[in-house]
A and B are shown apart, each in its own frame.
Chain A
């Protein structure tokens, strides 16, 4: 399955600015289905991990308050062209997704 994560990594000097968009419903568990009136079960990303060349540079713990199809941007020092950036997430149902890009 193709990854639902899009990554943009822009290198300026030795600082890389990472912008990423993840495809995910991010259901809060409090919303009701407008047709059936039943509560839609919670389904949201709990942990996002960013790794550069296999070293974890940032871990984000999320609750259901993060918007649908989450956007996340962060910056990392000490990166160089050719480094591999990997973004992965795990949601509350144990589903995962990941994507890799080469910093340039």
Chain B
């Protein structure tokens, strides 16, 4: 095989590999999402694990989730100046599931659907006016949502 051709092929392969690299999101808190425990995730996301349990944080989750692949979760909060809302599934391989940053005008009321591997506490963490508040609820899962 002639050398220039080989070089060209190598170069082309390198370019393709470079282009295939995922675009890294700067704002995405990778460390928090990769954390393997609730406290590590909290620490990475908020720089602390202390959250006051508060009745102002309303976590909507089913008592029993028949299908762990789709568990409807909603979080609302009656406090003022809510900056962010995070949802943590304690027993998932990576507990942090979602984190919402609220901009001006956004109401502290979000809902989505999550996957749960097994029965676990679901924790909602709300950051309002610089303070952390939380609420939690156990959701029983009959069929897991991871793998399958």
Interface positions of A (Cβ within 8 A of B): 15, 26, 28, 30-32, 46-47, 52, 55-68, 70-79, 90, 92-94
Residues in A with CB closer than 8 Å to B110 are 58, 60, 72-74
Pair B98/A92 contact, Cβ less than 8 Å: no
Residues in B with CB closer than 8 Å to A93 are 22
> Does any Cβ of A come within 8 Å of B10's Cβ?
no
Chain A's interface: helix, strand, loop or mixed, by majority?
A: strand
Residue from B92, B101, B112, B115 in contact with A59 in the complex, judged by beta carbons closer than 8 Å: B101
Residues in B with CB closer than 8 Å to A65 are 89, 92, 94, 96-98, 114-116
Interface positions of B (Cβ within 8 A of A): 21-23, 25, 27-29, 33, 69-71, 89, 92-94, 96-107, 109-116, 145-148
Most buried by A among B23, B105, B148: B105
Sample 7 A-B pairs with CB under 8 A, ordered by A number: A59-B100, A59-B103, A65-B94, A65-B96, A67-B69, A78-B104, A94-B22
Residue from A30, A47, A67, A77 in contact with B114 in the complex, judged by beta carbons closer than 8 Å: A67
Residues in A with CB closer than 8 Å to B89 are 65
Pair B104/A57 contact, Cβ less than 8 Å: yes
> Nearest chain-A residue to B69 (Cβ)?
A67
